[in-house]
């Protein structure tokens, strides 16, 4: 009777142990499934487009990374090299939406090369990302890659020679044309010089140079032209007064070598006071002051002022004009004498 009881107790203990093992196994499966579900949308793959190259040849490292849509990722910046491999160019990152798996696929290609022979192993490199608003930074690594860099076989028993023989390129007309044009231009220049030296004659006698016209003649003609235009009679007072005063100032420049057109009225009068007599000075003062009131104060002169302006201009020029002697027939330059005041 006791043996049966011991048997049942032993059996119950075995069943209890089995239940505990089953629960543990079930828990492990759940955890594994959760872990697999968590990393289901994370995948990385890196491959070379060739297994071997010769020194200096270029090849590509193609990378593909799949992450959930809410992941934030920054592709690594390899700089000038990845390990012992030189980076020629790091391409742009392309993205592709995978709506079925609710993920984003990132692709990038890096052009590489190597200048030393050998068997290169590219160690795994990591991509760091963050899911959603999580502050945790996860990473995924690539598998190691291998590339064989081979040298160019050289037969040292043979002499060094050019890869290809020197080619004889025929001379074209376009290449010769510039030289022909330069030669033709030089011949023309030489011919023109010889023709000029042969045909050159003795220089002709200097032509008679007419003396410059007296300043008072030029001024009187200008005043006559202003009179004929009848400006003040048509209400063009400013044009009339400015024309008369500018003509007188030009006459002063030609007669006395004073830049009257660039001077103010007061400055002009200061220069002329010691050069002309009292009558001429008063006439000049009247002409310039009336012109200033019309030009700057916009005053309208009366008829007598307009008539006196022209009359005084003729008187001032006649008093201060310089007497010129008629040039001799056998002289190229005129004789002249100073006007006595």
Instruction: Indicate whether 89 belongs to any domain.
Output: yes
Q: What is the CATH number of the domain that holds 62?
A: 2.60.40.740
Please report the pLDDT score of residue 337 as a whole number: 40
Please report the pLDDT score of residue 202 as a whole number: 56
Domain range for 58: 43-150
Instruction: Indicate whether 313 belongs to any domain.
Output: yes
127, 93 contact by CB (below 8 A)? no
The band of 42, judged by pLDDT with boundaries at 50, 70 and 90, is confident
Instruction: Indicate whether 84 belongs to any domain.
Output: yes
Residues 221 and 135 in one domain: no
221, 229 contact by CB (below 8 A)? no
Residue 101, CA atoms < 13 Å, CB-side half-sphere: 16
Instruction: Indicate whether 235 belongs to any domain.
Output: yes
The band of 171, judged by pLDDT with boundaries at 50, 70 and 90, is confident
Please report the pLDDT score of residue 98 as a whole number: 81
Average pLDDT on 220-224 reads 92
Residue 192 is encoded by which pair of tokens?
Answer: 């023109």
Q: Which helix (H) or strand (E) holds 120?
A: strand 118-122
Between residues 12 and 54, which one has the greater pLDDT? 54
> 107's torsion region: left (phi>0), alpha (psi -120 to 50) or beta?
beta
How many separate domains does the chain show? 2
Instruction: Indicate whether 16 belongs to any domain.
Output: no
The band of 186, judged by pLDDT with boundaries at 50, 70 and 90, is very high
Which of 94, 121, 150 terminates a domain? The answer is 150
Average pLDDT on 138-167 reads 81
Taking 80 as the threshold, does the pLDDT of residue 153 lie above it?
A: no
The span from the CA of 314 to the CA of 161, in Å, is 102
Write out the DSSP string of 160-202: P--SSPPP-PPPPHHHHHHHHHHHHHHHHHHHHHHHHHHH--P
The span from the CA of 206 to the CA of 174, in Å, is 52
Residues 139 and 223 in one domain: no
Average pLDDT on 189-210 reads 74
Other CB atoms within a 10 A radius of the CB of residue 50 amount to: 12
Please report the pLDDT score of residue 333 as a whole number: 40
Average pLDDT on 32-38 reads 39
Q: How far apart are the first and last CA of the chain?
A: 175
- Give the Å distances, CA to CA, from 272 to 242, 247, 253, 319: 19, 16, 11, 13
For residue 205, which phi and psi values (nearest 5 degrees)? -65, 145
pLDDT in tens, 48-58: 999 999 998 99
Instruction: Indicate whether 316 belongs to any domain.
Output: yes
Taking 90 as the threshold, does the pLDDT of residue 209 lie above it?
A: no
Average pLDDT on 83-93 reads 88
The band of 119, judged by pLDDT with boundaries at 50, 70 and 90, is very high
Q: Of the segments 15-24, 60-69, 323-332, which one has the largest average pLDDT value? A: 60-69
Please report the pLDDT score of residue 311 as a whole number: 93
Instruction: Indicate whether 305 belongs to any domain.
Output: yes
Percent of the chain residues topping a pLDDT of 90: 33
Average pLDDT on 29-34 reads 39
Which of 150, 171, 204 terminates a domain? The answer is 150
The band of 34, judged by pLDDT with boundaries at 50, 70 and 90, is very low
Please report the pLDDT score of residue 328 as a whole number: 47
Q: What is the pTM for the complete model shown?
A: 0.38
Residue with tokens 């510039």: 178
The span from the CA of 226 to the CA of 234, in Å, is 13
Which of 150, 169, 203 terminates a domain? The answer is 150
Please report the pLDDT score of residue 32 as a whole number: 39
- Average predicted confidence (pLDDT) for the chain: 80
pLDDT in tens, 274-331: 899 999 899 999 999 999 998 887 888 888 888 999 999 999 999 998 876 555 444 4
Identify the weakest region by mean pLDDT among 61-75, 153-167, 297-311: 153-167
Instruction: Indicate whether 22 belongs to any domain.
Output: no
The span from the CA of 113 to the CA of 143, in Å, is 20
Please give the DSSP secondary-structure letter assigned to residue 324.
B
Residues 129 and 221 in one domain: no
Average pLDDT on 93-112 reads 86
């Amino acid at each position: 009777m006791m043996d049966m009881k011991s048997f049942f107790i032993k059996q119950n203990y075995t069943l209890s142990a089995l239940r505990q093992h089953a629960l543990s196994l079930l828990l492990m499966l759940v955890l594994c499934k959760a872990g697999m579900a968590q990393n289901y949308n994370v995948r990385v793959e890196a491959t070379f487009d060739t297994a071997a190259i010769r020194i200096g040849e270029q090849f590509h490292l193609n990378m593909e990374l799949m992450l959930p849509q809410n992941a934030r990722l920054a592709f690594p910046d390899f700089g000038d090299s990845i390990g012992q491999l030189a980076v020629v160019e790091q391409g742009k990152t392309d993205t592709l939406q995978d709506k079925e798996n609710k993920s984003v696929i990132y692709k990038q290609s890096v052009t590489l090369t190597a200048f030393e022979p050998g068997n290169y192993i590219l160690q795994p490199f990591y991509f760091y990302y963050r899911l959603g608003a999580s502050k945790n930074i996860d990473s995924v690594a690539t598998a190691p890659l291998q590339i064989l860099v081979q040298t160019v076989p050289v037969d040292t028993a043979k002499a060094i020679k050019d890869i290809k023989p020197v080619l004889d390129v025929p001379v074209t007309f376009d290449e010769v044309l510039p030289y022909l044009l330069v030669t033709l231009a030089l011949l023309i220049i030489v011919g023109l010089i010889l023709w000029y030296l042969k045909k050159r004659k003795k220089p002709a006698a200097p032509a008679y140079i007419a003396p410059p016209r007296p300043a008072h003649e030029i001024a009187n003609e200008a005043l006559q032209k202003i009179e004929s235009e009848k400006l003040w009679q048509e209400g063009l007072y400013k044009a009339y007064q400015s024309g008369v005063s500018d003509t007188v100032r030009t006459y002063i420049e030609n007669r006395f070598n004073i830049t009257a057109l660039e001077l103010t009225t007061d400055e002009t009068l200061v220069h002329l006071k010691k050069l002309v007599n009292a009558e001429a000075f008063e006439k000049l003062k009247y002409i310039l002051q009336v012109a200033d009131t019309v030009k700057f104060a916009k005053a309208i002169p009366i008829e007598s002022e307009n008539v006196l302006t022209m009359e005084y201009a003729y008187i001032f020029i006649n008093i201060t004009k310089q007497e010129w002697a008629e040039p001799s027939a056998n002289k190229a330059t005129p004789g002249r004498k100073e006007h006595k005041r």
